[in-house]
């Protein structure tokens, strides 16, 4: 599986292939941002769009940002066959974070993300919980 940072010049082309998955993920996760917000941040270069692909098909899409407190944060993870690309993605993110002087990685998401993250980042720990009360 290939892990690739999408350059700004290629954001629109790749976004057309992943936009539906990103929107679906955002609906499931009840996030306070929309796909358009993420596209804008990636297109501006503020956030990084990193994909897992086999040369023909994109299997995983992640979006990352550098935080003000020294972490590299995964804003979004979506895709299929997570086991085939989670470890190389985590390794790539770790390398990017270290190269930029970050002190670690952060990922927030639905409870179903906990097991896969702890599988690839063995020292990951939960530091907060988000609760939602719908009316």
Which residue matches tokens 């670690």? 104
Residue 89 within a domain: yes
Q: Which domain covers residue 62, as residue numbers?
A: 2-120
Residue 98 within a domain: yes
The residues near 134 (Cβ < 8 Å, ≥ 6 apart) are none
Residue 70 within a domain: yes
Residue 62 within a domain: yes
CATH code of 115's domain: 3.40.630.30
Residue 131 within a domain: no
Q: How many domains does the chain have?
A: 1
pLDDT band at 31; cut points 50, 70, 90: confident
Q: Which helix (H) or strand (E) holds 116?
A: helix 114-120
Q: Write the pLDDT tens digit of every residue in 80-132.
A: 888 899 899 999 999 999 999 999 998 876 666 666 666 777 777 666 666 56
Q: Write the pLDDT tens digit of every residue in 45-59.
A: 999 999 999 999 999
The residues near 133 (Cβ < 8 Å, ≥ 6 apart) are none
Q: Write the pLDDT tens digit of every residue in 99-110.
A: 999 999 988 766
To the question of pTM greater than 0.75 for the whole model, the response is yes
């Amino acid at each position: 599986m290939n892990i690739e940072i999408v350059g700004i010049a290629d954001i629109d082309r790749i976004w057309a292939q992943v936009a539906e998955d990103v929107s679906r993920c955002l609906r499931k996760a009840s996030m306070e941002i929309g796909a358009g917000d993420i596209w804008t941040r990636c297109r501006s270069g503020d956030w990084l769009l990193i994909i897992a692909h086999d040369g023909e098909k994109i299997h995983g899409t992640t979006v990352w940002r550098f935080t003000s407190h020294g972490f590299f944060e995964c804003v979004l993870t979506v895709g299929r066959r997570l086991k085939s690309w989670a470890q190389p993605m985590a390794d790539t993110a770790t390398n990017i974070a270290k190269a930029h002087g970050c002190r670690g990685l952060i990922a927030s998401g639905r409870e179903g993300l906990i097991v896969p993250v702890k599988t690839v980042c063995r020292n990951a720990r939960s530091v907060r919980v988000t609760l939602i009360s719908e009316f």
